[in-house]
Amino acid sequence: MCPPAMRSWTRLWRRLARLLGVLVAIGTTGGCSGGGEAWPVDHPGPKVVASFAPLYCFALNVAGEDAVVRPLMTTSGPHHFNPTDKDARLLRQADLFLINGLGLEGDRPEKLRQASSNTRLQVVDVSSRIPPSMLCEGSCCHHEEGAEEEEHSHEHGHDPHVWLSPEYAIWQVEVIRDALIERDPAHAETYRRRAQEYITRL
């Protein structure tokens, strides 16, 4: 069953999405700033790409100094994102590619995976553990780029903006934690500790 809190957040999504776009543009989303494109050559930990700002923030808090996390979408949100060769190059050396799933990114993750030619890249759907019976149904409504007052709606089957609910965000953080542990078991305890510390703040 879709929780009332999630329904309330969904009604506020349009306003929050605009704010998020501003925060992404200035690189200060939730204090999770940084993330240059180049991968450090002297870091042995997992290389992680998060599809957009909230997942980047989740991953950064779990990874700490044991993994390197880079955001994919830095100048636009998932509704207006157009992948480039630069994005494929970023994924070429990555180990994990974190996506929201639920149709939010469309077919872009698979196209980018193929374009990267990275056969060891693992695409992680961080919403995969949310029970379908708890997802909200409905369409997504947002402004088209360059059309300030014009809106566009489309169906996802389920509302994909699940990170707006703390309950669902916890599931996403746990999926990120477990993906990092699977890739880097030597730092399992620190990933678990950071994930738990972050979950208590959600």
Domain borders along the chain are 45-199
Residue 11 has pLDDT above 80, yes or no: no
Residue 77 has pLDDT above 60, yes or no: yes
Average pLDDT, the chain: 79
Band (pLDDT 50/70/90 cuts) for residue 76 is: low
Helices (H), 78-165: 85-92, 108-116
In this structure, what token pair is assigned to residue 7?
Answer: 């329904």
* pLDDT given for residue 71 in this prediction: 93
Residue 154 has pLDDT above 90, yes or no: no
Tell me what the mean pLDDT of segment 99-111 comes to: 84
Give the type of residue at 186.
A
Band (pLDDT 50/70/90 cuts) for residue 157 is: low
pLDDT digits (tens, 9 = 90+) for 24-71: 433 434 457 655 557 998 899 999 999 999 999 999 999 999 999 999
Residue 158 pairs in a beta bridge with 137
Tell me what the mean pLDDT of segment 117-132 comes to: 90
* CA–CA distance, 88 with 104 (Å, rounded to integer): 19
CATH node for 45-199: 3.40.50.1980
Cα distances (Å, whole numbers) of residue 10 to 6, 94, 185: 6, 32, 36
* pLDDT given for residue 33 in this prediction: 61
* CA–CA distance, 108 with 173 (Å, rounded to integer): 22
